Amino acid sequence: MAMITWQQNRLIRQFDREILWIEAWGKNALRIRATKNATMDEEAWALLEPGQEKAELLVDGHCVTGAGAHDEVVAGASSVAIRNGSITALLSADGRLVFQNQDGKVLLEEYLRTEEALGESRSLLKIEAREIKMGRGEDCALTMRFESNPKERLYGMGQYQQEVLNLKGSILELAQRNSQASVPFVCSDQGYGFLWNNPAIGQVSFGTNRTEWHAQSTKQLDYWITAGDTPGEILEQYLQVTGLPPMMPEYALGFWQSKLRYQTQEELLCVAREYHRRRIPLSVLVIDYFHWPNQGTWRFDKTYWPDPQAMVQELKELGIELMVSVWPTVDADCENYSEMLEQGLLVAADRGLRTQMNFLGNETFYDATNPRAREYVWNKVKEHYYDLGIRTFWLDVAEPEYSVYDFELYRYQKGSNLQVGNIYPLMYAKGFYDGMRQAGDNQPLNLVRCAWAGSQRFGTLVWSGDIHSSFRSLRSQVAAGLNMAMAGIPWWTTDIGGFNDGATEDPHFRELLIRWFQYGTFCPVMRLHGYRLPYQEPMSKEVGGGMCDTGAPNEVWSFGKQAYEILVRYIQIRERLRPYIREQMKLAHEQGIPPMRPLFYDFPSEEHAWQTEDAYLFGAHLLIAPILHEKAVQRMVYLPGDKSWIEVETGRVYEGGQWVLADAPIEAIPVFTDQKELVECFRG
């Protein structure tokens, strides 16, 4: 018989070598941990410390103790449970967990098929729900299995390059790659949210027969589950325990201009002056990589950027914020390499050479899981950028982007890459967030090419990586952005037009760029970026900022007269929407409501809202239906709710609860609003 004890809001079961903890953690939520080691690891990972919720202990269906209860041994009971608000975890005699809401509906239950299992779960298959296979030392391979509802819909999990919004039936790698961000929180239409609170490399399968979470190497099981009546309630409870984003700064609400890559200070300033001359609103201008002498110097190459402080000052006078690219790479020939190596600030290699990336040199990554390494890098950045007035940073290559994704080769201070690798982008962002807060910045914002659960609390704006310039890729970004929102990352954007292979003179690409730009207007951040064709040669073959090539011009006047007029119109629309966008960012900051979200977030009772995967809400009052196929000039749009919707381009009014055929000439995409005053933002 298992020993079950109750200790300060925590139900503990011990049987053979396994220790199982079930405890209240946030509103209507429970945290589950299990190990076969002698003690439980207390690492919080994505979670913040819980509030003052007091769980109740139920024995044989009766509440026997609650807040302030003393330790109590539960013996001779046929059933034991712990209840926290609207969620209850029932622990059966065979050790299986079943989660129910306040109405007794089963939300999720462990999949157990053994001879010792009770009832219909009894089986000779010998499949454990919590399979912990010990390896060397305290390490184990871990598989967690749950029963599957074949009709369930699942959303979240971060960013995967696929045209799939409902993840039921998907197999997802739990690993970070360029354009893939594993954020292991999933929201179910059955009324629960689930966080796999484990940064280990692994996989999840949302099968119709069962759900399986797997970690290749870890120390223990750790997950968090919450119950809610709506997706909004579930997501907001999740952000309460993983952290709310800061308020987005005012400068970030407008249009951002970027390209791969402005090669000199004068080139960048000429672009800023031209936007100003044409009276096109520009909020942020971006300096991409290799403006530095070498990777790991974290400073300007004065050959090409002779007076950064004067550059920053001129841009501020034009009302433009400057963003600079920072990489976590340290070249073996860099001035800081030896010192960082001596101090143990670099990612180690368990086998082979210590070259983890090969890009115009031999590079190693700094160890963002090491607080001393984070402080070292921030101090360099502060001295060479922040103290010049640069207040926002582009944290590129944040996965980190190993030249070879052999995760078992690399080791951090916090553990092996197999055990903790997925947390790297969160720690990377944390180093800058902590430094900026210490410098007095209350609204840190940094553009980061990856994320993990909780990244949002460190001012992380995620973009979708180095994606292809194609309509297929555009369709994948719509799904990626909405699933990022449902994974608790409210700040998200893309490279408008895609990153690779867009030729400025190609009419097919110009159509794609226009459609992507129209979509990007209604993303949390509107940012034009790309490595445009034809490529241009490096300015120098020597070591330094001139040795990297660049792409063709990527400013809004670079794609012909028709495109220019359309793009400028949408920049002006974005500018007029600033008060509305600011209010959405306030809601994200205060409550965790994502600015960009699926229709079902606001209309959970409507079946068509759940079925819609190619349109979304931008705040509560704008419905966006982007054009996602080449040559398309019409599309069907579902208008949810029991209210009237105004088509902003035509002024036509439609009642909610129906599908409509919307026109979409190249000049515009279908946008609907239920607020008359917002229509004016699209006029003029």
10 Å CB burial of residue 152 (0-12, 13-18, 19+) is middle
Helix (H) or strand (E) segment spanning residue 6: strand 3-7
CB contact set of 406 (below 8 Å; sequence gap of 6+): none
The residues facing 84 across adjacent strands are 87
Q: Give the C-alpha separation, 670 to 664, whole Å.
A: 6
User: What's the token pair of residue 144?
Assistant: 């967690």
Query: Would you say 678 and 622 are in contact if contact means Cβ atoms under 8 Å apart?
Result: yes
What's CA 231's distance to the chain center, in Å? 17
DSSP 289: S
Tokens, residue 183: 């954020």
CB 610 within 8 A of CB 600: yes
Instruction: Indicate the SS3 state at residue 575.
Output: helix
State the catalytic residues.
Answer: 396, 399, 466
Q: 29 pairs with which residues across the strands?
A: 226
Nearest residue to 139 via CA among 33, 216, 213: 216
* Helix-, strand-, coil-residue percentages of the chain, each rounded to 5: 25, 30, 45
Task: Say if residues 527 and 496 touch (Cβ distance below 8 Å).
Answer: yes
Q: What are phi and psi of 184, to 5 degrees?
A: -80, 55
Helices within 120-250 (DSSP H only): 231-242
The angle at the Cα of 457, spanning 55 to 473, to the nearest 5 degrees, equals 115
**Hey, what's the torsion of the CAs at 252, 156, 415, 434, to 10 degrees?**
20
Torsion from C-alpha of 106, 107, 113, 114, nearest 10 degrees: -70
Of 334, 335, 363, the residue nearest 349 (C-alpha): 363
Strand order in the sheet with 130-134: 130-134, 140-147, 210-218, 202-206, 171-174
C-alpha torsion sign, points 612, 614, 618, 622 = negative
- The answer to whether 330 and 363 have CB atoms below 8 angstroms apart is yes
Burial class (CB in 10 A: 0-12, 13-18, 19+), 317: exposed
Q: Report the helix count and the strand count for the chain, using DSSP H and E.
A: 14, 44
Report CA torsion sign: 509, 512, 517, 520. Answer: negative
Q: How far apart are CA 461 and CA 481, in angstroms?
A: 12
Contact (CB, 8 A) for 157 and 487: yes
State whether residue 437 is helix, strand or coil: helix
